[in-house]
Structure 1
């Protein structure tokens, strides 16, 4: 396609749906509204200028067809013969096929079954073959010969559908259909393999487990196929584990972990014993996967060993010996850093328990050890989570370096029992409060535990919450000239843990690339009052785990088996539902209140300026005809009111002290300057001039009244002559309007 299929110059056009009609035309549904954003996300000053309900009584449906084509009126199928209905099923028009499908089901006329069976295997279109197959199944007329023929069909989607409908036959281990399905596990089309994996959960044939294992080994990196296979393993677990274990440790971590979880969940000692025996032969990384899966499922080796049968008990002992051997390599200089970190993650997991490795674990936190080993040690301490470790960390606190202290602090705030110990330390040594950043203060002041909230309020006061004078304090920052270098430093300190600009920071909160189009006042309000409007996907969630940990952040994903919380510094943590005590949407922003209270007016101005410049774009280049077109999508804006109106695709509400800027490459020559703009207010324009500066050239003028911000007019406003080409030239538009506002959709620099 050389261009857009459907475009409109009408700013109210809001296409919401597209369908093929039974007549062969394409139908496009147009909501047709001035504003489609929810008022919650529209600043109040904009709402006062807009009728947010405009268009509520309108709407359009476009019928689109090829020029010169003759549309086929839809037939009345209620009086059609069976032959006519079969003809409709063979149509390339999906809507007509669906209508014929419905008519056949409504009639419940079994006399059409022979015709459907013939079309299911012989129709030219694969869509028709699939549709006939589905109708036969709905009429309870599907039989084994038809399925056998369609399992050998030439089209993969017919294969897939036939496999799905064959499941009732798979419970018979002697069924010929089962033997036909096994080879499809090696099909070149992953959708076919995925369906085979789903359907084998219904199979009773002893080779079903081997086939599932081969799917896991051949497609373990495909999350969809892997999930399908794992959903079917329970009836065949022992067989699957036997096959997969022979290929370990070269199996994806997700597959190994899922098999261990399944074996634990259904208490399959045979499969667990096999995994543990094989683990004794694996490398450190593989041992870690098995141990951490056991721990995250709420078990320990000691728990499993307590009620184990002889075979499982022997396997656990073999596994435990391997853990001890790996732990002994941590201090060996010949051990690679990667294996050292992996071995650290095994500490405290043996049958002897945490205390046997506590001294070694704490020794690894010494500043004399490499930073990565210190981080690995504090990470393992977090997972083990015993009060003995917490008490030892507090005792040794003064000997820790900055990295360990930062990681340890996050650990103390993640566990209720550890947080209580830390609050006791804050009461003893109030100077420790300087260790807390704004988000950690907010976490403590809003903690679920009443005692911790009370202690935090007494120790921290309301330093994390802005007072009524905060907005007034920063009013002058709206007019101060920002220092972008200083603004970048403020961003790194205050914002980078949750936002990213360039190479600085982390993607946790909203993308800041579009902030250059917001007014400085809107930005300031968002910084001071982050909870004024909280988009649901960025609301802070707090997860309580059964082992006593608290995990706070954004709910980045949620599945049937667990939830993933994305926290500051981009730290992702997945919690299995089996380990989840509670999950609460707090309704407040992850961005803490009072984040910027430590800044003065100039510091705030610097930060606002940096945020507005963060969406800088590449220089605008001439089009094929030599014209340079400056639009909101390739420029930036700053000021009190100016912002991008997505409905108008324009810089709107441009008033006094507002300006827009572009960077452009402009060849030498003579150019005409056209504005595509609109203006509200009165018709008087005296002394209300704009200035457009291109390099050393400046044009002054006034935009005439157009009847409203949504009524645009394109006019010539001047000419410039460039004796030399401009490379990455700054093009600046400023306005001194005091009566009404204007919107600017485009500045066109046209060669003469």
Structure 2
């Protein structure tokens, strides 16, 4: 929070790592609504602060009043709390628990011994100086002195002056409107938060509306994100208008969409009324989310509005899917609704289901899939759809039918899906197996069939590490021929490869055969595993061990997890991202799926890498040497 150490105008972040005795330094670059942290190129080989003294325990970093960086170092023999150690660790370290409790030091990091030139007061470039001045001004109530700072050339000074006036209850709405139109996006972002805490009279509300309307399409993504959050705190029908506009333009699954949805509840009826009726997948998804909100608070007016949107099956499938999440069929939900307007909308949906059922019954050849999919979305029509699936699969074997099979789980699913296996393409075979693995019962059925031998190394690893012991045991028996050798024995067997001369060109071909399902290199493959451009500097032995014994050292973020959803669906992959409310799994085939934590029945780490064992089945010592040679070529 100063320019003494770094004069490039960028945001510099420092992270203490007391366990590793370092302080890491990253330069933050804007990346849409968030940031990207990049390591300072000047510190490519050494962290900003690093010590060989194992007692060095940096735990806190602050910018001081002099502009220097101050680092608090606890200086302890051990930093772990004994409570989190295994019993043997507790016993071993017991004599050292308190070593260093009488020590500690503070490091002062500065570029030059010269006195800093960062100004004084709120106009200072130093954050500590501004904070203390803000406190003093708030205590003294000197409004005039603060108002002059609103014209400062420093964006941080203008923003902090506004917050100071707000704390003193002396910030005018006119000044707030001016700040909302400030040239700096950082000031506009702060001004939106200030606007939430102010009282806006009727005549002032119109001016606020006009100003915020311009921010809907602000060039800065962080301003748009803050606007979405702020609208949830403001009153007036126009706030619903702006939220609907933001939801219409927000990319699916984006931070902006999440922020806008978080602000919907106070304006639910208005947003439902104003949201467009187009049947794009993105619109259907938002309609479904709005419907969930309306159901959660039993807002029948909002429900009626959403139901009136659907015509010609625009949103019917999405709305029925939401009811299904609640364990409700359309007819069961209709009995719960009292609003006449909502009942009218539900009647239209019932008519759509009736029409779809008639179309399916009347079809002489294959029934229209749109009608079948609509019926599958309603609990009371599923048995009818289940009877159609074997014949539909036999005639088409397409992903649309497979999706319905996975959803409805007909009892005879494994039998008709595996029929004609020898005629299926590799891509269709993978889809069939993934569908069968979505259910424990179907997984066991697959393992009792010869088609299970078609599972690749990744699927075999997934099954032998399954959280259900019965499945893992049966998988181990089925794949015994491929998994009997221990990793140590395999590595020993392939050690002669280290003495062979590898051919990088042949290695590229081998990479395409065994690695592209999880790794991308030279524009070929799938980005599921780590970026292999970084392994150029690894020695040949380390690369061989990583290929043949992938779980010996697992890179952070690539531990495999079994995730069982409450609807019985099984997922297997790495956790790509997570929040307090949801997580996103990245799975084989470069597929991703986001699930709410409330939908998860169990989440269990396999303790192994997502990279499968058993790749040696496709390798010889020479081909392994070729592959290593290719990996060591700079890309």
Shorter-normalised TM range: 0.7 to 0.9
- Give the conservation status (yes or no) of the 8 Å contact 1:297–1:578: no
CA distance in 2, matches of 1:334, 1:456: 40
**1:112 matched to 2:142:** yes
* 1:624-646 per-position Cα deviation (integer Å, ceiling 9, x unaligned): xxxxxxxxxx7xxxxxxxxxxxx
Q: Which of residues 193, 206, 219 in structure 2 aligns to 1:179?
A: 206
Q: Report Cα offsets for 1:292-342 as digits up to 9, x if no partner.
A: 55556765545534533454444234235446767859999999xxx9776
Q: 1:148 to 1:514 in 2, by over 3 A?
A: closer
Give how far 1:415 is off.
Answer: 1.8
1:278, CA displacement in angstroms?
A: 1.8
Q: Deviations over 1:87-121 (max 9, x none)?
A: 62234x2x1x54143244168623424432x2355
Query: Alpha-carbon deviation of 1:409?
Result: 1.4
CA–CA separation in structure 1 for the residues paired with 2:323 and 2:629 = 48
The aligned residue for residue 63 of structure 1 is 111
1:535–1:329 CA distance, 2 compared to 1 (3 A)? same
Answering whether residue 311 of structure 2 is matched by residue 276 of structure 1, we say no
Q: How far apart are 1:550 and its partner, in Å? A: 1.4
Matched, 1:237 2:261: no
Looking at structure 1, the residues matched to 183 and 509 of structure 2 have their Cα atoms a distance apart, in angstroms, of 62
| Aligned residue in 2 for 1:401 | 424
User: Is residue 200 of structure 1 aligned with residue 217 of structure 2?
Assistant: no
Contact map agreement 2:304 2:341 (CA 8 A) in 1: yes
Q: Aligned partners of 1:514 and 1:521: how far apart in 2?
A: 16
2:156 alignment partner in structure 1 = 127
* 1:304 corresponds to: 333
1:365–1:374 contact (8 Å) kept in structure 2: yes
Which of residues 370, 393, 406 in structure 2 aligns to 1:365? Answer: 393
Deviation at 1:533, TM superposition (A): 0.9
Q: 1:554 deviation in Å?
A: 0.9
- What is the SS of the residue equivalent to 2:554? coil
Q: Distance in 1 between matches of 2:344 and 2:439?
A: 35
Shift of 1:474: 1.5
Determine whether 1:209 maps to 2:240.
yes
> Is it true that 1:530 corresponds to 2:550 in the alignment?
yes
CA distance in 1, matches of 2:163, 2:439: 53
Matched, 1:258 2:289: yes
Q: Which residue of 2 aligns with 1:376?
A: 400
- Counterparts of 1:113 and 1:130 in 2: how far apart (Å)? 15
> In the alignment, what sits opposite 1:453?
472
Distance apart, 1:141 and its partner CA: 5.0
**Mapped contact 1:22–1:73 kept (Cα < 8 A):** no
Q: What's the secondary structure of 1:586's corresponding residue?
A: strand
Q: Would the aligned equivalents of 1:167 and 1:202 in 2 still touch at CA under 8 Å? A: yes
Q: Which moved more, 1:397-406 or 1:510-519?
A: 397-406
CA distance in 1, matches of 2:189, 2:112: 34
Q: 1:363 to 1:298 in 2, by over 3 A?
A: same
Choose 578-587 or 393-402, whichever is displaced more: 393-402
Q: What is the count of residue pairs matched by the alignment?
A: 551
- Counterparts of 1:402-441 in structure 2, within 5 Å, are 402=425, 403-423=427-447, 426=448, 429=449, 431-441=450-460
Question: For residues 536 and 226 of structure 1, what CA distance do their matches in structure 2 show?
Answer: 29
Instruction: Indicate yes or no: 2:226 matched with 1:167.
Output: no
Asked if structure 1 preserves the Cα contact closer than 8 Å seen for 2:188 and 2:223, the reply is yes
Is the Cα–Cα contact under 8 Å of residues 121 and 149 in structure 1 kept in the other structure? no
Give the equivalent residue in structure 2 for 1:748: none
Matching of residue 89 in structure 1 with residue 122 in structure 2: yes
Equivalent residue number for residue 605 of structure 1 = 622
Shift, 1:451, TM fit: 2.2
Q: Among 346, 349, 354, which residue is 1:319 paired with?
A: 349
How far does residue 417 in structure 1 lie from its aligned partner after superposition? Answer: 3.0
- Per the TM alignment, residue 287 of structure 1 is displaced from its structure 2 partner at its CA by 4.9
CA distance in 2, matches of 1:62, 1:144: 42
Partner-residue secondary structure (3-state), 2:381: coil
Q: 2:611 aligns with which of 571, 578, 591?
A: 591
TM-score, normalised via structure 1 length: 0.63
User: CA, structure 1 residues 580+221, in 2 after alignment: closer, same or farther (shift >3 Å)?
Assistant: closer
- Provide, for residues 49-84 of structure 1, a one-character-per-residue CA deviation record: whole Å limited to 9, x for no partner: xxxxxxxx999945169xxxx855678xxxxxxxxx
- Cα deviation 1:234-260 (Å, max 9, x = unaligned): 111111011114566596455334323
Matched, 1:572 2:592: yes
Q: Structure 2 residue aligned with 1:563, among 583, 586, 592?
A: 583
Q: CA deviation at 1:201?
A: 1.4
- SS of residue paired to 2:259: helix
- TM-score, normalized by length of structure 2? 0.73
1:294–1:557 distance in 2 versus 1, CA, 3 Å: farther
Shift in Å at residue 381 of structure 1?
1.7
Gaps of 5+ in 2: 1-6, 9-26, 28-38, 51-60, 74-104
For residue 144 of structure 1, report the CA deviation from its aligned partner: 5.0
Query: What displacement does 1:355 show?
Result: 2.0
Q: Which has the higher strand share?
A: 1
Summarize the Cα distance change of 1:433–1:287 in structure 2 as closer, same or farther, 3 Å threshold.
same
Give the match for residue 36 of structure 1. Answer: none
Kindly report the root-mean-square deviation, in angstroms, between the aligned alpha carbons of the 2 structures.
Answer: 4.4
SS in 2 for 1:388: coil
SS at match of 2:607: strand
Gap change, CA 1:192 and 1:590, over 3 Å in 2:
closer
1:551 Cα deviation after fit? 0.5
Contact 2:141 2:168 in 1 (8 A): no
- Cα 1:387–1:473 shift into 2, 3 Å: same
Judged with a 3 Å threshold, the aligned counterparts in structure 2 of structure 1 residues 443 and 330 are, in CA distance, closer, same or farther, namely: farther
**Larger helix share, 1 or 2:** 2
The verdict on how the C-alpha distance between 1:398 and 1:250 changes in structure 2, with shifts beyond 3 A counting, is: closer
CA distance in 1, matches of 2:423, 2:44: 61
Q: Compute the displacement of 1:567 (Å).
A: 0.9
CA shift, 1:207, in A, is 3.3
1:348 aligns with 2:356: no
Give the equivalent residue in structure 1 for 2:413: 390
Tell me the residue number matched to 1:625.
none
C-alpha distance in 1 between matches for 2:187 and 2:106 = 43
Q: Which residue of 2 aligns with 1:54?
A: none
Contact 2:181–2:211 (CA under 8 A) maintained in structure 1: no
